[in-house]
Amino acid sequence: MNSVARRWSASPALGPVELSVADLDRSSRHYRASLGMELIAREGPRAQFGVAGRTMLVLTEIPGAKPAPASSPGLSHFALDVPTRADLARFARHHTDGDLRDHLVSESCYVLDPDGHRIEITWGRPRDEWSWQNGLPLLAAGPLSLDDFTGDPFDGLAPATTLGHVQLKVTDRDLAATEPFYCDLLGLDVTARVGDSFLGVGVSDFRTLLVFTSRFSVDGPEPAPPRSAGLIAVNLTVPDQDDLDALAQRLVAAGHPHTATPGTLTVQDPSGNLLRFSADSGPTVTAFLRSMDFLQDGALDQWLALFDDDAVLEFPFAPPGAPSRVEGKAALAGHVKARAERMPSPKVEQLHIHVTEDPSTIVAEMTIRGATDRTRRAIAVVTVHNGLITLYRDYWNPLDLAAR
């Protein structure tokens, strides 16, 4: 199991699952009262749910949406890992109609939401109780009895609950396309296998992130109609922009379609399931990317709001007569507004961000395109404290444009 070390600077992590639903009010009531999740945020047709302030699920309303056909690709279930067997017992006694299963490595209770999305609440057995076969954990789906569980009344998911894994429905019966895509191309490891129709992948130490099954489409898949209630995307986070760039290079070399923007890469697996990879950027990268967006849009007031009152702009290669240092937000406002009157907002292309050993400072390499379609290379060193930019050092050579 060495592909993760070869492909990624550190292990990818599972982010929120995004699903569409027919009625957001109905779903909100269900996920709070029945599953014990928290409503973290809601704006318009979207709502975020999770545990202890951590978002694990994002729902988007499509009014009147019908469940996608069972044989179509998409979500099989997502799993919430509870920390103790007592937590699972409380949930199981709360859902007496749940489907209880013994997977040998875990015990689980499966339930459905109002749109037919399946949720697994699972407790993992200690590693020393696992059995092994061909170097992988031995798995099963045996029945459990509700009589096996006793406990206190259910009053919500434990704060230590995590998003454990997401199981996706795929349409290649023997996983002949799925396995090489996720393992050879994306660089994840095989963590579980049952026959040729069930595969788990993830990171080292047999920690499964994604599971794939083709058992729903043995007679061929039925495409989901537009505006169905189903999977929108599975989110994964990677350590930094360099990992996204490396993934993009692998996808380009393989001729696999994808969309890459600074901080994000989206790609569909061979069955059409959408994956969204994001760099775990932290506040420094976030502030810088927002500043670039506002600057390109000409939203100067919003751009200025990202800077500390005592922020400094430096231009080490400024031409004669131009300022090489601007200090304080008031001076920044005058500088950037005067520049905006002389030239339209630039467009940033080919942006690459490097996180330094000091997480408060990044180095950004970029190509900037002006109104006359001229371009120049630039390097910015940006420091952020308490979410605000305190130093922006802009390295570019004015001779780049003067010589054109």
Q: Per-residue pLDDT tens for 325-365?
A: 999 998 998 888 887 776 666 677 667 777 777 878 888 88
Nearest to 94 by CA among 83, 103, 86, 102: 86
Q: Do both 142 and 173 map to the same domain?
A: yes
CATH number at residue 339: 3.10.450.50
Q: Per-residue pLDDT tens for 177-201?
A: 999 999 999 999 999 999 999 999 9
Strand order in the sheet with 142-143: 142-143, 99-102, 106-112, 118-124, 74-81, 162-169, 207-213, 198-203, 189-194
Domain boundary among 279, 307, 336: 279
Do residues 222 and 74 make contact, with C-beta atoms less than 8 angstroms apart? no
In this predicted structure, what is the pLDDT of residue 372?
63
Distances (CA, A) of 109 to 85, 106, 192: 11, 10, 20
Q: Per-residue pLDDT tens for 247-272?
A: 999 999 999 999 998 788 999 999 99
Mean pLDDT of 156-169: 94
Q: Residues of the chain with pLDDT > 90: what percent? A: 57
* pLDDT reading at 205 higher than 70: no
Q: Per-residue pLDDT tens for 208-260?
A: 999 999 998 877 788 888 899 999 999 998 877 888 999 999 999 999 999 99
Q: Do both 273 and 383 map to the same domain?
A: no
Q: Do both 214 and 227 map to the same domain?
A: yes
Q: Do both 68 and 210 map to the same domain?
A: yes
How many other β-carbons are positioned within 10 Å of the β-carbon of residue 103? 19
Q: What is the mean pLDDT of the chain?
A: 87
Do residues 13 and 243 make contact, with C-beta atoms less than 8 angstroms apart? no
* pLDDT reading at 3 higher than 60: no
Q: Per-residue pLDDT tens for 124-151?
A: 999 899 999 999 999 999 999 988 888 7
Q: Do both 254 and 323 map to the same domain?
A: no
Q: Do both 36 and 156 map to the same domain?
A: yes
Which of 25-34, 108-117, 319-328 has the lowest average pLDDT?
319-328
Q: Residues of the chain with pLDDT > 70: what percent? A: 92
Q: Do both 231 and 350 map to the same domain?
A: no
Nearest to 359 by CA among 236, 239, 237: 239
Q: Do both 217 and 72 map to the same domain?
A: yes
Q: How far apart are alpha carbons 396 and 381 in whole angstroms?
A: 11
In this predicted structure, what is the pLDDT of residue 166?
98
Q: Do both 259 and 338 map to the same domain?
A: no
Domain boundary among 264, 279, 294: 279
Q: How far apart are alpha carbons 165 and 207 in whole angstroms?
A: 9
Q: Do both 163 and 109 map to the same domain?
A: yes
Mean pLDDT of 27-49: 94
Count the domains in the chain: 2
How many other β-carbons are positioned within 10 Å of the β-carbon of residue 132? 9
Nearest to 21 by CA among 13, 12, 31: 31
CATH number at residue 224: 3.10.180.10
Distances (CA, A) of 176 to 106, 183, 186: 27, 11, 15
Domain boundary among 253, 279, 305: 279
Q: How far apart are alpha carbons 254 and 262 in whole angstroms?
A: 21
* DSSP string for residues in 14-74: EEEEEEEES-HHHHHHIIIIIS--EEEEEETTEEEEEETTEEEEEEEE-TTPPBPPTTSSE
In this predicted structure, what is the pLDDT of residue 397?
55
Q: Do both 109 and 171 map to the same domain?
A: yes
At 13, is the pLDDT very low, low, confident or very high (cuts 50, 70, 90)? Answer: confident
Torsion of CA 187, 188, 194, 195, to 10 degrees: 0
Mean pLDDT of 103-118: 97
* β-strand pairing of 274-279 with 231-238: parallel
Q: How many residues does the chain have?
A: 404
Q: Do both 245 and 149 map to the same domain?
A: yes
Its domain, for residue 225, covers: 3-279
